[in-house]
Structure 1
Amino acid sequence: MFTKKPDANGASLHVAKPASVGSFSVIGSDVVITGDVSASADLHVDGRIEGDIRCASLVQGEGSHIEGAVSAESARLAGSVSGSISARELVILKTARIHGDVHYDALTIEQGADVEGRLAHRTPAEPARMGDGEPKLTLAS
Structure 2
Amino acid sequence: MANGSSTFSVIGTDVVIKGDVSASADLHVDGRIEGDITCASLVQGDGSTIEGAIKADNARLAGTVKGTIEAKELVVLKTARIEGDVHYDALTIEQGAAVEGRFAHTERRVQPVAAPAQPQAKKDDGEEPRLTLAG
Separation (CA, whole Å) in 2 of partners of 1:117 and 1:125: 15
Residues 1-141 of structure 1 aligned to structure 2 (within 5 Å): 23-123=7-107
Q: How many residues align?
A: 108
- CA gap of 1:62–1:125, structure 2 versus 1, over 3 A, is closer
Q: Report the TM-score, using the length of structure 1 for normalisation.
A: 0.73
Gaps of 5+ in 2: 111-135
Aligned equivalent of 2:132: none
Aligned residue for 1:41, secondary structure, equals strand
Identity of aligned residues (%): 75
Q: Unpaired segments of 5 or more residues in structure 1?
A: 1-17, 127-141
Matches of 2:30 and 2:83, distance apart in 1: 18
User: How far apart are the structure 2 equivalents of 1:28 and 1:125?
Assistant: 34
Aligned-residue offset at 1:53: 0.1
Larger Rg: 2
The CA RMSD measured in Å over matched residues stands at: 1.8
The one-letter amino acid paired with 1:107 is L
The Cα shift of 1:123 comes to: 2.6
Q: Give, as a single letter, the amino acid of the residue that structure 1 aligns with 2:89.
A: D
**Higher share of residues assigned strand:** 1
Could you state the TM-score of these two structures normalised by the residue count of structure 2?
A: 0.76
1:57 is paired with a residue whose SS is strand
